[in-house]
């Protein structure tokens, strides 16, 4: 082998080494799987951190940006307190009035040997007043019955009824109005005159 052949072989070896240095070896399949396995937890941890930093806002809840004036807030609170005090004061007043009324009622109804005569006198006056009221109602019923009896045969005017029963025109008109409202008498108009008659049906 000559000198030229030796130089040629050395040159080929140097070129092969240089070419081998410039190339990058591809990682094996096992290494690629390991790198993917390590990258996934890192990505998931980063995503979890990002999600933790996110603030979820409910669209149904409106954010209140206005800040109420503290003086207005204090004024509203004072108004509420004043209203509550007024209500409690009125409740206390009504309660005290009820107690006073109950006390007076107990005193009036309490009977002792000293006021027995006065108690009987008061009771007598109450019964007499009730008797007068009942008698007055009985008189009114009697007058109404007379008016109804006078209308059994024919229709009559108010002035005729008042003359027949010796009643005033005003009182007769008021009793006829009451009997109309009660459904016993009806009123009919003939020309300028108004007649009253019984309701038979």
Asked if pLDDT for residue 104 goes beyond 70, the answer is: no
Question: Which helix (DSSP H) or strand (DSSP E) does residue 149 occupy?
Answer: helix 116-150
pTM attached to this predicted model: 0.41
Q: Which of 139, 201, 200 is closest to 175 using CA atoms?
A: 139
The predicted-structure confidence for 5-22, as pLDDT tens digits, reads as follows 655 665 565 545 444 444
Task: Answer yes or no: is 72 within a domain.
Answer: no
Domain, as residue range, for 186: 119-198
Q: Give the residue with greater pLDDT, 62 vs 197.
A: 197
The predicted-structure confidence for 45-80, as pLDDT tens digits, reads as follows 555 554 544 444 555 555 455 555 555 555 666 677
Average pLDDT estimate for 146-155: 89
Task: Answer yes or no: is 141 within a domain.
Answer: yes
Instruction: Please report, for the domain that includes residue 177, its CATH number.
Output: 1.10.10.10
Task: Answer yes or no: is 184 within a domain.
Answer: yes
Per-residue pLDDT band at 121 (split at 50, 70, 90): confident
Task: Answer yes or no: is 153 within a domain.
Answer: yes
DSSP string, 127-139: HHHHHHHHHHHHH
Asked if pLDDT for residue 25 goes beyond 60, the answer is: no
Number of domains in the chain: 1
**Whole-number pLDDT of residue 20:** 47
Q: Which of 145, 146, 193 is closest to 166 using CA atoms?
A: 146
The pLDDT > 70 percentage for the chain reads 49
Task: Answer yes or no: is 102 within a domain.
Answer: no
Q: Are 183 and 199 contacting, i.e. CB atoms less than 8 angstroms apart?
A: yes
**Whole-number pLDDT of residue 176:** 94
HSE-CB of 62 using CA atoms within 13 angstroms: 3
């Amino acid at each position: 082998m000559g000198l030229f052949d030796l130089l040629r072989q050395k040159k080929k070896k140097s070129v092969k080494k240089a070419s081998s240095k410039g190339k990058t070896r591809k990682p094996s399949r096992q290494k690629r799987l390991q790198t993917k396995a390590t990258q996934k937890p890192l990505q998931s941890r980063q995503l979890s951190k990002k999600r933790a930093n996110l603030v979820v806002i409910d669209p149904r809840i409106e954010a209140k940006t206005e800040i109420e004036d503290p003086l207005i807030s204090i004024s509203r609170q004072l108004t509420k307190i004043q209203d509550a005090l007024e209500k409690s004061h009125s409740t206390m007043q009504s309660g005290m009035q009820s107690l006073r009324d109950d006390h007076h009622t107990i005193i009036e109804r309490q009977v002792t040997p000293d006021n027995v005569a006065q108690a009987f006198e008061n009771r007598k006056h109450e019964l007499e007043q009730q008797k007068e009221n009942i008698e007055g109602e009985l008189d009114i019923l009697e007058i109404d019955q007379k008016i109804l009896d006078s209308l059994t045969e024919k229709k009559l005017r108010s002035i005729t009824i008042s003359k027949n029963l010796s009643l005033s025109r005003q009182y007769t008109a008021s009793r006829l109005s009451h009997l109309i409202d009660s459904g016993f008498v009806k009123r009919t108009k003939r020309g300028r005159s108004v007649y009253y008659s019984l309701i038979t049906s």
